[in-house]
């Protein structure tokens, strides 16, 4: 079993990396080479701007290359709760922003001819308890009436035709969206940005960003850049001069295992529609079949950061959950196990805007595949003079009380969720 991301381990070799020092002057410097930064670099390059992307590791090597590979519509939190919190109009705006994000991903794949095994199969949220199905039914009625008619409730009589497991009582099917190979998408997006003139610097950890006349001086481990504008797209990075952002994000670990290739007959019986799946529990699981016939199975197994001992412990928990839901796979070999950080905001909605003259976009709260790609395109438009393009422009972003950057409270939150899951 490899303690590595399956996506990153099986990604093709890119042709995008810039050699030599990161120095000189550019129109835009982007800190972070995940989907936000790469998408923004592509958009700026298409506009004819000079742009450089600086990443402390490899392009797509953070959250963008360590997630579940799902790309679906629907807000990160329950739509009914969001509607009650924000009102109908703003909740609709949030939902539509996520729908637009799926469209952005699909558009870029088409336009840049990115080979990433994209499959438009939709998402099925599975009710783990009968009362969960009742809640999903109420939520689906609101979504169908107010924002998305292309949703459907599946009762227990139909759920076995979608997922062959005794663990579910129905589900909410959202037909828009799909899944893809995240490593291939990252490399394809990086190659596209480079084709349009972006400089992409790997292993270039940013150490300081200082005002320099009308622009900024960006110091990194590979040199000094001067830029007219700077975009912070680091997500839950624990390194660099980004404490203001860290105080507003809870970096929660999410963990994933991937099996050996499984027989097609077994997969056709267990997952005939090949959708993206997530369960309704607070300590939920998500899963999907990869293009090479493996089962990817993930979840918030433990409220802790990703590191080798934690990943191994989380992998054992995930394997037990997988076996409980799908007993016929009890003997399947686990080939990959890894973890990553999810940059969760207090209300689980993204944040994007400007702080101290520097632009930022992050806080995707577990729905980053589509929203990060979308917001890279959006921020290029915003930074080019159209602030109204930002769907999150009117959202305040106070610091999390008592949070100084190190999430000491996560074990307490995890214990609370585990207890609440029993009664929820």
Dump pLDDT digits (tens) for 196-237: 999 999 999 999 999 999 999 999 999 999 999 999 999 867
Neighbours of 330 (CB within 10 A): 11
The alpha carbons of the chain give a radius of gyration, in whole angstroms, of 21
Token pair for residue 186?
Answer: 């990252």
Q: Which of 173-187, 261-275, 301-315 has the lowest mean pLDDT?
A: 301-315
- Between helix 35-46 and helix 88-111 the angle, nearest 10°, is 70
Give the DSSP letter of residue 399. P
Residue 86: phi and psi, rounded to 5, are -110, -15
* Domain annotation covers residue 419: no
Token pair 């995707």 in the structure block, residue: 364
Q: Is 356 exposed, middle or buried (0-12, 13-18, 19+ CB in 10 A)?
A: exposed
* Domain annotation covers residue 421: no
Token pair for residue 113?
Answer: 């001819």
Q: Report the pLDDT value the prediction gives residue 310, as an integer from 0 to 100.
A: 64
Question: Which band of pLDDT confidence, cut at 50, 70 and 90, is reported for residue 423?
Answer: low
Q: What's the start-to-end Cα distance of the chain, in Å?
A: 34
Task: Count the domains in the chain.
Answer: 1
Res 410 pLDDT > 80: no
Q: Report the pLDDT value the prediction gives residue 309, as an integer from 0 to 100.
A: 62
For residues 225 and 26, is the Cβ–Cβ distance under 8 A? yes
pLDDT tens, position by position, 4-26:
999 999 999 988 889 999 999 99
Neighbours of 79 (CB within 10 A): 23
Q: Report the pLDDT value the prediction gives residue 253, as an integer from 0 to 100.
A: 80
Instruction: Residue 102: give the domain boundaries.
Output: 6-414
Residue 66: phi and psi, rounded to 5, are -135, 20
What distance in Å separates the CA atoms of residue 402 and residue 25, rounded to the nearest whole number?
A: 39
Q: Which residues have C-beta within 8 Å of that of residue 147, sequence separation ≥ 6?
A: 79, 91, 92, 95, 96
Over range 187-199, report the average pLDDT: 97
* Domain annotation covers residue 263: yes
Question: Which band of pLDDT confidence, cut at 50, 70 and 90, is reported for residue 238?
Answer: confident
Q: Report the pLDDT value the prediction gives residue 44, as an integer from 0 to 100.
A: 98
What distance in Å separates the CA atoms of residue 143 and residue 80, rounded to the nearest whole number?
A: 8
Token pair for residue 210?
Answer: 């200082």
* Domain annotation covers residue 27: yes
Question: Which band of pLDDT confidence, cut at 50, 70 and 90, is reported for residue 305?
Answer: low
Token pair for residue 120?
Answer: 């438009």
325 beta partners: none
* Domain annotation covers residue 424: no
For residues 353 and 365, is the Cβ–Cβ distance under 8 A? no
Q: Which of 140-144, 278-282, 371-375, 409-413 has the lowest mean pLDDT?
A: 409-413
Question: Which band of pLDDT confidence, cut at 50, 70 and 90, is reported for residue 418?
Answer: low
What distance in Å separates the CA atoms of residue 168 and residue 280, rounded to the nearest whole number?
A: 9
Alpha-helix runs per DSSP H in 326-409: 368-383
Alpha-helix runs per DSSP H in 155-307: 156-159, 182-195, 243-246, 264-270
Q: Report the pLDDT value the prediction gives residue 285, as an integer from 0 to 100.
A: 94
pLDDT tens, position by position, 246-273:
999 988 888 999 999 999 999 999 999 9
Q: Is the dihedral of CA 365, 126, 90, 380 positive or negative?
A: positive
Q: Is 423 exposed, middle or buried (0-12, 13-18, 19+ CB in 10 A)?
A: exposed
Over range 391-417, report the average pLDDT: 76
Q: Report the pLDDT value the prediction gives residue 366, as an integer from 0 to 100.
A: 87
236 versus 68: the higher-pLDDT residue is 68
How high is the mean pLDDT of the chain? 92
Instruction: Give the three-state DSSP class for 259.
Output: strand
pLDDT tens, position by position, 144-178:
999 999 999 999 999 999 999 999 999 999 999 99
Neighbours of 348 (CB within 10 A): 18
* Domain annotation covers residue 422: no
What distance in Å separates the CA atoms of residue 205 and residue 199, rounded to the nearest whole number?
A: 15
Neighbours of 130 (CB within 10 A): 10
* Domain annotation covers residue 1: no
Residue 189: phi and psi, rounded to 5, are -70, -40
pLDDT tens, position by position, 78-132:
898 999 999 999 999 999 999 999 999 999 999 999 999 999 999 999 999 999 9
What distance in Å separates the CA atoms of residue 359 and residue 321, rounded to the nearest whole number?
A: 41
pTM of the model: 0.93
Closest CA to 180 of 289, 74, 69: 69
Q: Is the dihedral of CA 106, 108, 112, 117 positive or negative?
A: negative
Here the CATH number for the domain that contains residue 220 is: 3.50.50.60
């Amino acid at each position: 079993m490899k303690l590595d991301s399956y996506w990153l381990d099986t990604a093709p070799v890119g042709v995008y990396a810039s050699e030599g020092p990161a120095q000189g002057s550019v129109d835009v410097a982007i800190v972070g080479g995940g989907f936000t930064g790469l998408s923004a670099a592509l958009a700026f390059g298409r506009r004819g701007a000079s742009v450089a992307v600086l990443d402390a590791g490899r392009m797509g090597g953070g959250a963008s290359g360590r997630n579940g590979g799902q790309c679906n519509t629907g807000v990160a939190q329950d739509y009914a709760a969001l509607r009650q919190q924000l009102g109908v109009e703003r909740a609709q705006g949030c939902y539509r922003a996520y729908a637009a994000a799926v469209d952005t991903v699909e558009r870029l794949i088409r336009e840049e001819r990115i080979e990433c095994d994209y499959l438009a199969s939709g998402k099925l949220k599975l009710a783990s308890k009968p009362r969960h199905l009742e809640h999903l039914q109420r939520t689906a009625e609101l979504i169908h009436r107010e924002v998305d008619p292309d949703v459907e409730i599946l009762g227990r009589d139909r759920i076995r035709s979608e997922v062959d497991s005794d663990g579910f009582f129905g589900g909410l099917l959202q037909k828009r969206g799909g899944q893809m190979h995240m490593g291939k998408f990252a490399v394809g997006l990086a190659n596209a940005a480079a084709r349009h003139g972006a400089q992409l610097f790997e292993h270039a950890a940013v150490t300081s960003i200082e005002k320099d006349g009308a622009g900024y001086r960006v110091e990194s481990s590979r040199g000094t850049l001067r830029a007219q504008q700077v975009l912070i797209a680091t997500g839950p990075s624990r390194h660099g001069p980004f404490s203001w952002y860290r105080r507003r994000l809870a970096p929660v670990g999410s963990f994933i295992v991937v099996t050996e290739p499984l027989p097609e007959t077994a997969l056709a019986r267990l997952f005939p529609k090949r959708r993206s799946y997530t369960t309704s529990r607070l300590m939920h699981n998500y899963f999907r079949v990869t293009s090479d016939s493996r089962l990817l199975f993930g979840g918030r197994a433990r409220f802790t950061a990703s590191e080798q001992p934690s990943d191994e412990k989380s992998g054992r928990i995930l394997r037990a959950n997988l076996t409980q839901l799908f007993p016929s796979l009890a003997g399947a070999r686990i080939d990959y196990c890894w973890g990553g950080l999810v940059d969760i905001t207090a209300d689980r909605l993204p944040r994007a805007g400007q702080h101290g003259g520097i632009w930022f976009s992050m806080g995707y709260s577990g729905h980053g595949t589509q929203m990060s790609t979308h917001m890279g395109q959006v921020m290029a438009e915003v930074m080019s003079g159209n602030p109204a393009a930002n769907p999150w422009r009117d959202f305040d972003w106070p610091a999390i009380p008592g949070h100084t950057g190190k999430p000491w409270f996560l074990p307490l939150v995890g214990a609370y969720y585990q207890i609440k899951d029993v009664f929820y």
